[in-house]
Chain A
């Protein structure tokens, strides 16, 4: 998938979507910006008594000693910082380039493009992270300046290039790129080696310690691939460990075993990664051999509540 297909959503639609999200009563859905409203900016607002749950690092010990009553601590509160940081990690391995008729990487890139545009239009800062790359220095691309789809596409172009050989998992640059209270969006199919899966899950768990919101976008193309597979004698090819004899008989029993292995791998990831600030978005491909990827993406992007939460502004 060398060629980047344009985002199937017009800019005007994205703009309407952004405005609609800002007007919306968030109700029971806390937006990302609300989470940050508790005060992560450096602009001091006031002192108030300490309540359980407040960050102990924000206790103003001097003011507490001078003005506070006995056994009462004062904590510093800060001005509301409506700006947030969104880091989108994209898995661009070979498995993401399948199924050939509806590649997952295409959806991942569309998602990154749309999210980055809306977020940047809202004044947020966005960074794109290549989850698998051999050059850590170039793993993170910061998107600065006014929102521009052409700039975003230029930054996304390296993800569509097919590497000459499999590249390693690259998580180290995230230490710098993910400040506290930022949003880390991981877009992948989770068809990974167990060791890689474990490393990403542990990194996600660690990220949640700094009030970061970790969202896994699980691009699940299995229904489509199941349709492609059909029944009978098949020769199954694809990335990852290869069978000695790639020919096999597709039966319900075999399919059941494969589905359970996929489910087990994803459940294991959830178990390891979940630590309070973790959400998984499950985008399941339609069960068709050649689904309309654009329609699928539009429906998912505009309809997914987690995506809406990412982009919602606090009132």
Chain B
């Protein structure tokens, strides 16, 4: 703004100078001018300095320039310094699990504390003898104000020393909301002029927009090597939900400098699997093992690198879970064959005749059965190709099985397979999940048996799909922050210690205008600009058409 003001100051000075300089001669128009032709020209200066001519055009032009200067000052007013005001800094410190990453002789949290100290000292130096004040907040998966209106740097050091990393993930949206709310929303006794976010995460793109409000992102991380568990997955039986296999994804961030051993132990403590990763460039691997017995399985990565929360992980494999069924149709022998258990109290699934009244629960509705060969063939009129009920079905067989139409189905069912004249052979309902099948598995090994088995199992698999099996592990949360057993701190990206640091913004401890002041000043500068334009146009018009007194 200083440059712009200098330019306009120069223009005003130039305008005044123009109106101060007048010709030193008087112009005379004579009829006898021709007789002066041979006279010698004047040797002295033909300009002289005198008081500004107080003409109307001079005042109009001066008004234009002054209005422009006032508009510029009001436009930049929010950024003007108020030297007498106290310096206030709001620190927002990352205390997620990754801040426990070891770097050199300490952790990243130690680096963050050192940064706080450094910034605090600079704030004190720029305060012109006044004691700066600080606010301190911390974030991981939650945002918390640690201390408000901290007076002086030594008090800041003491407060920051109490900050410890927590084995939790990082939610940058919380920081974004805090920064966007602005310094006014946070200011209490301490007038905040600078928001400093200290984290081991790279500066997000939105910090650019927030930098105009005094936000600075300081990424204190340096790339260090780490290896550990990044992902846990399992393979389950679709009917029973039994965990058949477990898999751990192991990933190295940065080159592996020494051999790393991955050991998997079972519920009895015996080693199920052991694998060794040789030294080399950045790499990843996965270990997969059968979970034949229920119980706790443990994977250990040794040595684990700079970040410790991904060095070990434990999962709990639940005992085989039998499906509880409310079976209200014939052929109870099928319960035994399928390994299901009859339970009419809290069933996972109901198997009901099509006209049963309690069909508003997850259920398989069974029709009147099949009559193969009667008639000989019934053409399929329409089918819903993407329906899971049709998986692996042979449509040629379906046309010869003499399936009986469903008749009237409960509300919400959508036909999946229809025969002549819209007769519904298969149907499904999304919520609550239910399927209509024409009949129970017939048994045997013929076409009818294979078709009826496939249709029934498709229906059972689809209806039971919504059942939530017990998880192998859980992640720590602000409510349960300490990892224990299968409560793990494997939050995404926390173990990625290899990122290059990205900081943004520069420290500027000058006090900032409040939003109210900014809005007040910025409300008026457009009017001043319009006034300047209006006066300029009026002056030009008068200059051209207003006669000699406006020239």
Across-interface contacts of A228 in B (CB, < 8 A): 28, 30
Indicate if the CB atoms of B31 and A221 lie closer than 8 Å. Answer: yes
Indicate if the CB atoms of B32 and A233 lie closer than 8 Å. Answer: no
Interface string of A225-269 (1 = CB under 8 A from B): 100111011111111111111011100001001100110000000
Whole-angstrom distance from the CB of A220 to the nearest CB of chain B?
Answer: 10
Say if the beta carbon of A50 comes within 8 Å of chain B.
no
Indicate if the CB atoms of A229 and B31 lie closer than 8 Å. Answer: no
Interface string of B19-44 (1 = CB under 8 A from A): 00001111111111111111111111
Question: Whole-angstrom distance between the alpha carbons of A232 and B28 in the complex?
Answer: 12
Say if the beta carbon of A313 comes within 8 Å of chain B.
no
Indicate if the CB atoms of A239 and B26 lie closer than 8 Å. Answer: no
Stretch of A96-104, A113-121, A174-182, A205-213 on the interface side: A96-104
Say if the beta carbon of B177 comes within 8 Å of chain A.
no
**Selected contact of B37 from candidates A96, A100, A241, CB within 8 Å:** A241
Given the known interface contacts A233-B25, A233-B26, A234-B26, the answer about A191 and B41 at a Cβ–Cβ threshold of 8 Å is no
Determine the residue in chain A with the shortest Cβ distance to B24: A233
Say if the beta carbon of B46 comes within 8 Å of chain A.
yes
Question: Whole-angstrom distance between the alpha carbons of A228 and B30 in the complex?
Answer: 8
Given the known interface contacts A233-B46, A248-B42, A257-B39, the answer about A239 and B34 at a Cβ–Cβ threshold of 8 Å is yes
Say if the beta carbon of A189 comes within 8 Å of chain B.
yes
Question: Whole-angstrom distance between the alpha carbons of A225 and B35 in the complex?
Answer: 12
**Selected contact of B30 from candidates A225, A233, A242, CB within 8 Å:** A225
Question: Whole-angstrom distance between the alpha carbons of A99 and B28 in the complex?
Answer: 10
Question: Whole-angstrom distance between the alpha carbons of A99 and B30 in the complex?
Answer: 6
Whole-angstrom distance from the CB of B33 to the nearest CB of chain A?
Answer: 3
Question: Whole-angstrom distance between the alpha carbons of A261 and B31 in the complex?
Answer: 14
Say if the beta carbon of A95 comes within 8 Å of chain B.
yes
Given the known interface contacts A98-B31, A191-B32, the answer about A248 and B26 at a Cβ–Cβ threshold of 8 Å is no
**Of residues A96, A236, A244, which shows the largest number of chain B Cβ atoms within 10 Å of its Cβ?**
A236
Question: Whole-angstrom distance between the alpha carbons of A98 and B33 in the complex?
Answer: 10
Indicate if the CB atoms of B32 and A262 lie closer than 8 Å. Answer: yes
Indicate if the CB atoms of A237 and B32 lie closer than 8 Å. Answer: no
Say if the beta carbon of A222 comes within 8 Å of chain B.
yes
Given the known interface contacts A232-B26, A247-B25, the answer about A237 and B33 at a Cβ–Cβ threshold of 8 Å is yes
Question: Whole-angstrom distance between the alpha carbons of A98 and B42 in the complex?
Answer: 24
Question: Whole-angstrom distance between the alpha carbons of A237 and B26 in the complex?
Answer: 11
Give residues 34-74 of B contacting A (CB, 8 Å).
34-44, 46
Indicate if the CB atoms of A238 and B30 lie closer than 8 Å. Answer: yes
**Of residues B24, B29, B37, which shows the largest number of chain A Cβ atoms within 10 Å of its Cβ?**
B29
Indicate if the CB atoms of B31 and A96 lie closer than 8 Å. Answer: yes
Question: Whole-angstrom distance between the alpha carbons of A245 and B25 in the complex?
Answer: 12
Across-interface contacts of A229 in B (CB, < 8 A): 28, 30
Indicate if the CB atoms of B28 and A237 lie closer than 8 Å. Answer: yes
Indicate if the CB atoms of B29 and A237 lie closer than 8 Å. Answer: yes
Determine the residue in chain A with the shortest Cβ distance to B27: A235
Question: Whole-angstrom distance between the alpha carbons of A99 and B77 in the complex?
Answer: 59
Question: Whole-angstrom distance between the alpha carbons of A240 and B27 in the complex?
Answer: 16
Count contacts on B: residues with CB < 8 A to the other chain: 23
Question: Whole-angstrom distance between the alpha carbons of A283 and B28 in the complex?
Answer: 22
Across-interface contacts of A239 in B (CB, < 8 A): 31, 33-34
Interface string of A266-285 (1 = CB under 8 A from B): 00000000000000000000
**Selected contact of A238 from candidates B32, B41, B44, CB within 8 Å:** B32
Indicate if the CB atoms of B32 and A258 lie closer than 8 Å. Answer: yes
Indicate if the CB atoms of A191 and B31 lie closer than 8 Å. Answer: yes
Determine the residue in chain A with the shortest Cβ distance to B36: A236
**Selected contact of B31 from candidates A235, A238, A243, A244, CB within 8 Å:** A238
Whole-angstrom distance from the CB of A171 to the nearest CB of chain B?
Answer: 21
**Selected contact of A234 from candidates B28, B31, B40, CB within 8 Å:** B28
Whole-angstrom distance from the CB of B60 to the nearest CB of chain A?
Answer: 28
**Selected contact of B35 from candidates A232, A233, A258, CB within 8 Å:** A258
Indicate if the CB atoms of A236 and B42 lie closer than 8 Å. Answer: no
Indicate if the CB atoms of A233 and B42 lie closer than 8 Å. Answer: yes
Indicate if the CB atoms of A98 and B29 lie closer than 8 Å. Answer: yes
Across-interface contacts of A249 in B (CB, < 8 A): 40, 42-44
Indicate if the CB atoms of B33 and A238 lie closer than 8 Å. Answer: yes
Across-interface contacts of B41 in A (CB, < 8 A): 243-245, 247-248
Interface string of A58-101 (1 = CB under 8 A from B): 00000000000000000000000000000000000011111110
Question: Whole-angstrom distance between the alpha carbons of A99 and B29 in the complex?
Answer: 7
**Of residues A100, A247, A248, A257, which shows the largest number of chain B Cβ atoms within 10 Å of its Cβ?**
A247
Whole-angstrom distance from the CB of A66 to the nearest CB of chain B?
Answer: 63
Indicate if the CB atoms of B37 and A230 lie closer than 8 Å. Answer: no
Indicate if the CB atoms of B36 and A248 lie closer than 8 Å. Answer: yes
Whole-angstrom distance from the CB of A237 to the nearest CB of chain B?
Answer: 5
Given the known interface contacts A247-B42, A249-B42, the answer about A237 and B35 at a Cβ–Cβ threshold of 8 Å is no
Indicate if the CB atoms of A243 and B37 lie closer than 8 Å. Answer: yes
Across-interface contacts of B27 in A (CB, < 8 A): 234-235, 237
Given the known interface contacts A243-B37, A245-B41, A249-B42, the answer about A230 and B26 at a Cβ–Cβ threshold of 8 Å is yes
Across-interface contacts of B23 in A (CB, < 8 A): 235
Given the known interface contacts A236-B36, A248-B36, A258-B36, the answer about A104 and B26 at a Cβ–Cβ threshold of 8 Å is no
Given the known interface contacts A230-B26, A237-B27, A257-B39, the answer about A247 and B33 at a Cβ–Cβ threshold of 8 Å is no
Give residues 154-212 of A contacting B (CB, 8 Å).
189, 191
Indicate if the CB atoms of A98 and B30 lie closer than 8 Å. Answer: yes
Across-interface contacts of A232 in B (CB, < 8 A): 25-26
Indicate if the CB atoms of A235 and B28 lie closer than 8 Å. Answer: yes
Across-interface contacts of A237 in B (CB, < 8 A): 27-30, 33
Q: B interface vs A, CB < 8 Å?
A: 23-44, 46
Add 15 more A-B contacts to A97-B31, A235-B23, A258-B35 (CB < 8 A): A95-B34, A228-B28, A233-B25, A235-B26, A235-B27, A236-B30, A237-B28, A237-B29, A238-B31, A238-B34, A240-B33, A247-B25, A249-B43, A254-B40, A262-B35
A sample of 10 cross-chain residue pairs with beta-carbon separation below 8 angstroms, ordered by A number, consists of A98-B30, A99-B30, A222-B32, A233-B46, A237-B33, A238-B30, A240-B34, A243-B36, A257-B39, A262-B35
Minimum-distance CB pairs A-B, first 9: A238-B33, A240-B34, A98-B31, A95-B31, A245-B41, A233-B25, A235-B27, A238-B30, A258-B35
